[in-house]
Structure 1
Amino acid sequence: MIKHQRALSGVLVLAVAVAGALAAGPAVTASTGTADHDRLHEVMHRLTTVDGGPGALIRVRDRRGDAVLTSGVADVTSRAPMRGDSSFRIGSMTKMFVATTVLQLVGKRRVVLDAPVERYLPGVVRGHGNDGRAITVRQLLQHTSGIPDYLNYLSLQKVLKDPLAHHDPHDLVNMALAHPPTFKPGTGWSYSNTGYLLAGMLIEKVTGHTYGQEIRRRIIKPLRLRQTYVPGDASAIPGPHPRGYARPGQDAPLMDITAINPSVAGPSGSMISSGTDLNRFLGALVRGRLLRPAQLREMMRTRPTGSPDGSAYGLGLESDPLPCGGLYWGHDGGILGYQTLGGATVDGRQATVMVNLYPGESDAQDHDTKTAVQTALCEDRPSL
């Protein structure tokens, strides 16, 4: 997992309440299947022991079935086990939904990928060398715009003062534009959540509706995603869900940060979903149910991110090599309290993992969430 792909940086920790310490050795529970999947069980156990996560789940699906594996607890106070049908904040996995919506507009000829951002948001991207006349829509979606990431400049103290406060996307964009570009547009790659704030604003400008309304109309309703929401300012997570925790430093106590105003992430990372819904979405996306062939090809036209693991980034969608051969497509997500990663293969397999800890105390959780998805996608069948 690429650290700079997270929806919120590890510096932004909202200390709402301090929870108790974890008990050692949480149980790993499979809801279906009897096959021996030792490696996946081992990785899930590691996420909730040595990696420090309170709980974790992985939902696996292919054309023959669906299965879920859970480990650890949803609440460190009550010790309630992690539920396989949980909803959770998905952080930067939101970007796949936003990019899909923009590409649907491209397919309808309402947006041109290689048109300047200025055409749709006149005067918005200006200042300190940032210029919407020189940046294209494609570059926003692919993180090649050079626009600084606003999360690098968001004050922790301001958020801590009122964690339920509304954050206007224009203010967050202007926070980024008060700094010079990372590079000349199109000449580099650097993850920027600001680009997706602008993509959300573009959707609203073109359609007359918020990005959330368009995602609901174009993706959530057609796919019947019953646990997927664009929450706006709502701080609650609907339905069964684990508490979300953060550990701001090594040996620091867990902090319960379940309740936040997700407008601090907006179209770059505010959405809520479940393993079942995310797998359905990923399967529909990579198999061409949401985009026309031309737009899906553009989404999957990638460039290297510079990561040693071989990841490459398209338009809101990342490709990664599988240890068993081939690629999977997906995205990671990290927002205060929750870390997620989902992936799908073009032959019909999907897997989504979630841990109710973010940020954690080390990079081991990053590595093991990715290992869990890769292991699940390489198994012969989804029974756990």
Structure 2
Amino acid sequence: MSALHSCWITAEGETGSLGNADALFPWWSFTKTVIAISALQLQEAGRLDLDRPEDGASLRQLLRHEAGLGDYAGLPSYRRAVAANVEPWTPSRMMAELGAGARPDPQAQGWRYSNPGYMLARARIEAAAGCDFGSYVERHICAPLGLKSVRLARCRPDMAAIHWPEGRDYHPGWVYHGLLLGSAREAAALLHGLAHGALLSDNSLAEMQERRPLGGAIEGRPWQETGYALGLMSGRLKDMGRAWGHSGGGPFCVNAVYTFPDLAPAVTVASFTDGWNEAPAEWEALRIDQAIAAGEAP
């Protein structure tokens, strides 16, 4: 049976954990949430305009997956290259592999999940910030929250300390928007801090949560209603009301990091496990949430 590593924080500040909540894990697409936070912080500082068109798409469209860009995750050539453990393609090679999907076309495509869109968003953030994404996160997100484990993985040696042995030779360059590493405890702390006003103004947080409805239940997963906001998966999970945050996964592990604002008190949960299917991590986050709502120990 897969090992689960989780941490939770209530709005009242009570915390708990299961497994090894302080181990180092890849955050995969939870990195998108941090990219979106960075963009909104820079907008607050007057250094970015989320709605200014550039190269066919605005930053807001990129962050909401509304720029019409394709994704590389399903490309057979990409999957073969990652499985072969070769060096990552250059960004230009990756975009060439996408073909027509590499050209923004917001009007024609509507909503389309795109990792390359977040690569372009990161580049705009770095240009506005005057530093690389990892340095920005360290100064403007980790420092205010007192986070110590979080760092941007840039090369294979950066993966040597992660919890999962099978991923210690993985090249993080295959995640083109960037791959943050951190513990489950600090993933929960980051989303908890975001939800409670430690990273963004009330207006920016409300802007971040403006969601595009996408549909109903997903077979095999706890979602009853789905949507996407700025770097946030947002909808309703079975019997627990609203949830927002992000799931993520790579070749060897997955995670689910969500806050449940309809509970009293609200709860934020981060769950990590091995494998490739995000559903077990999402179900574990829901199970912990349900136990806390019932006044039971997770």
Does TM-score exceed 0.5, indicating one fold? yes
Q: Which residue of 2 aligns with 1:65?
A: 14
Give the drift of 1:69: 2.1
Verify the 8 A CA contact 1:58 1:69 in the aligned structure 2: yes
Give the drift of 1:64: 4.6
Structure 2: distance between partners of 1:326 and 1:382: 19
Larger RCO (alpha carbons 8 Å, 6+ apart): 1
Q: What secondary structure is seen at the aligned counterpart in 1 of 2:177?
A: helix
Alignment of 1:176-215 (within 5 A): 176=98, 178-179=100-101, 184-185=106-107, 188-215=110-137
Q: What secondary structure is seen at the aligned counterpart in 1 of 2:225?
A: coil
Say yes or no: does 1:95 pair with 2:32.
yes
Where has structure 1 moved over 6 Å in runs of 4 or more? none
Q: Which residue of 2 aligns with 1:295?
A: 204
Query: Among residues 65, 81, 94, which one is paired with 1:158 in the alignment?
Result: 81
Give the drift of 1:181: 5.6
* Cα displacement string for residues 271-322 of structure 1 (whole angstroms, at most 9, x for unaligned residues): 1111110110011112221112222111100011234221111000122314
Q: TM-score, normalised by structure 2?
A: 0.86
Give the drift of 1:167: 4.2
Q: Which residue of 1 aligns with 2:177?
A: 267
Verify the 8 A CA contact 2:69 2:116 in the aligned structure 1: yes
Cα 1:186–1:351 change in 2 (3 A) is farther
Cα 1:382–1:61 change in 2 (3 A) is farther
Structure 2: distance between partners of 1:297 and 1:145: 21
Alignment of 1:193-272 (within 5 A): 193-237=115-159, 239=161, 241-243=163-165, 256-267=166-177, 270-272=179-181
Q: Which residue of 2 aligns with 1:56?
A: 4
Q: Which residue of 2 aligns with 1:334?
A: 249
Q: Which residue of 2 aligns with 1:313?
A: 228
Structure 1: distance between partners of 2:250 and 2:238: 27
Query: Among residues 186, 193, 203, which one is paired with 1:277 in the alignment?
Result: 186
Aligned length: 285
Q: TM-score, normalised by structure 1?
A: 0.68
Judge which range, 165-174 or 214-223, deviates more: 165-174
Q: Which residue of 1 aligns with 2:273?
A: 355
Structure label with greater radius of gyration: 1
The percentage of counterpart residues that share the same residue type is 25
Q: Which residue of 2 aligns with 1:127?
A: none
Cα 1:105–1:325 change in 2 (3 A) is same
Alignment of 1:369-380 (within 5 A): 369-378=281-290, 379-380=292-293
Cα 1:335–1:216 change in 2 (3 A) is same
Q: In the alignment, residue 96 of structure 1 is paired with which amino acid?
A: T
Structure 1: distance between partners of 2:240 and 2:25: 30
Gap runs ≥5 in structure 2: 218-223
Structure 2: distance between partners of 1:278 and 1:324: 24
Structure 2: distance between partners of 1:180 and 1:215: 27
Alignment of 1:38-187 (within 5 A): 48=1, 53=2, 55-62=3-10, 63-70=12-19, 83-116=20-53, 118=54, 132-133=55-56, 135-153=57-75, 154-163=77-86, 165-176=87-98, 178-179=100-101, 184-185=106-107
